[in-house]
């Protein structure tokens, strides 16, 4: 029997240039930057309304974006961002 370590989650990404895309937080109370693409993942930081983040990648359904906010990277829900 071979015991395998659990693999980290993976998301499929669409191939398009996102490195220059900037998004603005539109949520009144700011938006959580999370460790993974879902509300079940730990919050890294909360970014204030009207702040901008750099979009680095997105999942296939585009619901969650992988972003850079200041020096931190993580996931944000696209519904609360203005692209």
Q: How many CA atoms lie within 13 A of 1 on its CB side?
A: 1
What pLDDT is stored for residue 7 in this prediction? 45
Q: Specify the pTM.
A: 0.75
What pLDDT is stored for residue 34 in this prediction? 96
What pLDDT is stored for residue 60 in this prediction? 72
pLDDT in tens, 10-68: 444 444 555 568 999 999 999 999 999 999 999 999 999 999 999 999 877 779 999 99
The whole-number average pLDDT for the span 70-79 is 95
Return the closest-CA partner of residue 47 out of 66, 28, 64: 28
CB 57 within 8 A of CB 15: no
């Amino acid at each position: 029997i071979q015991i395998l370590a659990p693999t980290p989650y993976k998301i499929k990404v669409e191939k398009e240039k996102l490195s220059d895309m900037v998004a603005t937080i539109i949520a009144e109370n700011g938006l959580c930057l999370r460790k993974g693409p879902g509300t079940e993942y730990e919050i890294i930081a909360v970014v204030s309304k009207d702040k901008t983040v750099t979009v680095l990648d997105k999942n296939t359904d585009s619901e969650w974006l992988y972003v850079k906010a200041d020096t931190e990277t993580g996931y944000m829900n696209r519904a609360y961002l203005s692209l």
